Amino acid sequence: MIREATHDDIPRMVKYHHDAMHEGVFGDQLTWDLESAVKHFVSFIDDEDKKCLVSDNGLLCVYLGSPHFTSDTLLMEQGFYVVPEKRGSMDAYRLFKKGVKWGKEMGAKGLWFMTSTGIDIQKSEKFFNGMGATTIGNVLFNNFKE
More confident residue, 114 or 66: 66
- Structural domains of the chain in order of their starting residue, each with its CATH number: 3-129 (3.40.630.30)
Residue 38 has pLDDT above 90, yes or no: yes
Which candidate, 58, 116, 113, 51, places its Cα nearest to that of 88?
Answer: 58
- What does the pLDDT look like over 99-120, one tens digit per residue? 999 999 999 999 998 877 888 8
User: How deeply is 113 buried, as exposed, middle or buried, from its count of CB atoms within 10 A (0-12, 13-18, 19+)?
Assistant: buried
Mean pLDDT of the chain: 91
DSSP 8-class letter at 91: H
| pLDDT at 39 (0 to 100) | 96
Q: Are 81 and 41 in contact (CB under 8 A)?
A: no
| pLDDT at 114 (0 to 100) | 83
Q: Are 32 and 23 in contact (CB under 8 A)?
A: no
